Amino acid sequence: MSEFNIPDALEVREFAPGAPVIIAFTSVNSNGFSFYKNLEKLPFSRIYVRDPFDCWFQRGIGSGVDSPEALVAYLGRVLAELRPLRRVTMGSSMGGYAALLFGHLLRVDAVFAMSPQTIIDRRLPHTPSEDFSDRPYFDLAPLLRIKNRHRPATHILFGSDDIVDVWNATRVVTLPGDVQYPVAGRDHLASNLIAGNGDLAVALSGLARDEAFTLTAALDRRCEAPRVKAILDRLTRALYLAEPDLAPEEWTERLQRLEPDWAVPYDVAAMLATRRGDVAAAEAAAGKAAELAPLSITLQTSHAQLLMRLGREAEAIAAFERCLKIRPKHYAALCALGILRARAGDYERALAHLDTAIAIRPRLARGKSLRAAVLEGRAVAISSLEEPGEDM
C-alpha cells in the first residue's frame, strides 16, 4: 500500500487483508500524525491523514489532492484496495471536524469525533485563520442531519466544561444510533484523557468490530438538559457570533442559579467582565471556574492570564505551573512562564520554558520571538502574551 503514501500528509498501514480500518485525521499545528502511537497498538489497518495547511482540509492535503472532494476520491481508492470489513473515522478538534465530514461523505460505518468543530466560523475558538464561509462544508449541520441507510453511527466526545465544545456537539441533530460523551470537568483537550486512560482504544476497538463498549471517563450530562442546552446556545451565539438582543448577562445569571456548581457559567461571567474592562471581577469569576474544574487546562489558563494582567505575577507563575502539571506540553503556559521568569530575573528557567515551547510548536512564531527578546534583554509587555490564535 506504499504507493498511496503522500509525504507528511497521508500514510497507509495495512494490518491484514480485509481487516477493519481506522482513518485518523490529525489536529491543527501538529508536527506529525495525531494518535499515531495509540493506533499502532491496535490490530487494525490505519490510514493517517494530515492537513499541512491547517485549513481544516478545505485545501485538501496537497498537490493533486487539493480539495475535500479530491481527498474523498483519493481515500475511496485506498479503501477499495484495502477492502476492509469495517471503516471508522476519528480525530480531535480539526481532526474531529474532518472525521465527521469525511466519515459522512465516505459513508463509513462509524465516526468517533473528539471536540470537533461543527461549523468553522472564524469568530469561534479553534477555527481556521482563513474565511471559508463560502465553502460547502463550512457548516456540517446540514450534512449530519441527512438520514439514510448509509449514514454512519456518529459518536462525539467533548469536554463538559468548555462552552464552545458543548455548543458544537449539541447543535447538530443527533439521530438514532448517535452517541455523545460529555467528559466531566474537561475542556477542548478531552481527547488527552481518553488517549491516556485506554478509553480511546476501547472505543475504536468496539466501533471497528461493531461491538458495544463502555468508557471509564466520568461523564457530566447536565449540558444535554433541554433548558441548559437552550441557555448555552444563546450564550455562545451572543458571546462569539455577535447576535443581538440575547442579553448574555441575564442568561449567565440564570445558568448560575440553575447550575451553581458548574464551571461554565462562571467562565462566561469572566469573559463578560473582561469585555467590560473589569479585570478584577473577571479574575474572581475565572478563579471560581478554575476551582470547580481543576483539570480543565482552558479554565486554568484563563485564570492565570487574568492574574498576569492584574500584575499578580507570583500568583500567575504558580497558576501556569499548575497548567503544566495538567499538560506538560502546554504552549501558552510555557511562553507565559518564559516571560514571567525573565521578569523575575530567572533567565535560566525562562529560556528552558521557551526552548520547550519552540520544540513543541516549531511552526509558531511566538515562542521564538519571546526567546529572542529574553536573550537581547528587551522588555516584553504582558499584553503580548494575550493575543489569540494559537492552539494549545
Q: Which three three-digit cell numbers place residue 198?
A: 485506554
Tens digit of each residue's pLDDT (9 = 90 or more) over 132-163: 999 999 999 999 988 777 889 999 999 999 99
Do residues 334 and 281 both lie within one domain? yes
pLDDT class for 2, splitting at 50, 70, 90? confident
Tens digit of each residue's pLDDT (9 = 90 or more) over 255-287: 999 999 999 999 999 999 999 999 999 999 999
Residue 229 maps to a domain = no
User: What pLDDT is recorded for position 364?
Assistant: 86
Residue 54 pLDDT greater than 90, yes or no: yes
User: What pLDDT is recorded for position 158?
Assistant: 98
- CA-CA distance, 180 to 159, in Å (whole number)? 11
- Answer yes or no: are the C-beta atoms of 88 and 112 closer than 8 Å: yes
Do residues 181 and 278 both lie within one domain? no
Q: Which three three-digit cell numbers place residue 54?
A: 491547517
Q: What is the pTM of this model?
A: 0.92
Tens digit of each residue's pLDDT (9 = 90 or more) over 301-329: 999 999 999 999 999 999 999 999 999 99
Residue 244 maps to a domain = no
- CA-CA distance, 193 to 319, in Å (whole number)? 21
- Secondary structure (3-state) at 310: coil
Strands (E) in the chain, as ranges, are 10-13, 21-25, 45-49, 87-92, 110-114, 153-159, 179-183
User: What pLDDT is recorded for position 1?
Assistant: 66
User: What pLDDT is recorded for position 389?
Assistant: 42
User: What pLDDT is recorded for position 42?
Assistant: 97
Residue partners of 306: CB distance under 8 A and separation at least 6: 270, 274, 279, 282, 283, 286
Compute the mean pLDDT over every residue in the chain, rounded to the nearest whole number.
93
- Answer yes or no: are the C-beta atoms of 232 and 268 closer than 8 Å: no
Higher pLDDT, 375 or 57: 57
H or E element, residue 79: helix 68-82
Q: What letter would DSSP give residue 21?
A: E
For residue 161, the domain's CATH number is: 3.40.50.1820
Do residues 188 and 268 both lie within one domain? no
Residue 264 maps to a domain = yes
State the sign of the Cα–Cα–Cα–Cα dihedral 91, 95, 97, 99: negative
Do residues 314 and 205 both lie within one domain? no
Tens digit of each residue's pLDDT (9 = 90 or more) over 177-231: 789 999 999 999 999 999 999 999 999 999 999 999 999 999 999 999 999 999 9
User: What pLDDT is recorded for position 376?
Assistant: 85
Which single residue is written with the C-alpha cell 439514510? 148
Residue 56 pLDDT greater than 80, yes or no: yes
Do residues 150 and 274 both lie within one domain? no
Total domain count, the chain: 2
Residue 118 pLDDT greater than 50, yes or no: yes
Do residues 218 and 87 both lie within one domain? yes
Closest among 346, 345, 344, 334 to 370, alpha carbons compared: 334
Residue partners of 368: CB distance under 8 A and separation at least 6: 358
Residue 242 maps to a domain = no
Q: What letter would DSSP give residue 243?
A: -
Residue 245 pLDDT greater than 70, yes or no: no
Domain containing 364 equals 252-385
Do residues 34 and 169 both lie within one domain? yes
Residue where a domain terminates, one of 181, 202, 222: 222
User: What pLDDT is recorded for position 149?
Assistant: 77
Strands 110-114 and 87-92: parallel
Residue 230 maps to a domain = no
Beta bridge partners of residue 6, listed in sequence order = 10
User: What pLDDT is recorded for position 388?
Assistant: 45
CA 165 to each of CA 118, 233, 262: distance values in angstroms, whole numbers, following the listed order: 9, 11, 15
Strands (E) in 303-362, as ranges, are none
For residue 350, the domain's CATH number is: 1.25.40.10
Residue where a domain terminates, one of 222, 242, 260: 222
Do residues 211 and 261 both lie within one domain? no
**Exposed, middle or buried, 127 (CB in 10 Å: 0-12/13-18/19+)?**
buried
Do residues 192 and 314 both lie within one domain? no
Query: pLDDT exceeding 70 applies to what percent of the chain?
Result: 95
Do residues 32 and 117 both lie within one domain? yes
Residue 50 maps to a domain = yes
- Secondary structure (3-state) at 170: helix
pLDDT class for 378, splitting at 50, 70, 90? confident
Residue 241 maps to a domain = no
Residue 347 pLDDT greater than 50, yes or no: yes
Residue 231 maps to a domain = no
- CA-CA distance, 145 to 275, in Å (whole number)? 35
Do residues 273 and 173 both lie within one domain? no
Do residues 284 and 193 both lie within one domain? no
**Exposed, middle or buried, 7 (CB in 10 Å: 0-12/13-18/19+)?**
exposed
